[in-house]
Amino acid sequence: MSSKYVAISCAFYDELESSAVKKENSIIIYKDNEEVITIHAVIVDFKTQNKEEFLILSDGTKIRLDKIISFNSIKPTDKDYC
């Protein structure tokens, strides 16, 4: 069972979206259950499912946005919330 979704800051979302538009290869560190995973990939899309937001990578990996620890060395807590 997954934990309750916590919305990310608009500024952090903007960083993710900007990278997707530019089709940049990015370094994403995220938590999957108790495992911390580092992946190098291109963000191709964003989806909302059951009031949870996800990014979709070029290899099909789907990451819930509030599970991201770091994106291109930017932490979600580095940016102000809306």
Q: Which two tokens stand for residue 65?
A: 């946005």
Q: Each residue of 9-58: pLDDT tens digit? A: 889 999 999 999 999 999 999 999 999 999 999 999 999 999 999 999 99
Q: Which residue has the higher pLDDT, 13 or 78?
A: 13
Q: Domain coordinates of the chain in residue numbers? A: 10-77
Q: What fold, for 10-77? A: SH3 type barrels. (2.30.30)
- pLDDT beyond 60 at 75: yes
Tell me the pLDDT band of 2, cut-offs 50, 70 and 90: low
SS3 82: coil
Q: Are 54 and 64 in contact (CB under 8 A)?
A: yes
Average pLDDT over residues 48-72: 96
pLDDT at 25: 96
Give the Cα separation of 48 and 26 in Å (integer). Answer: 21
pLDDT at 78: 65
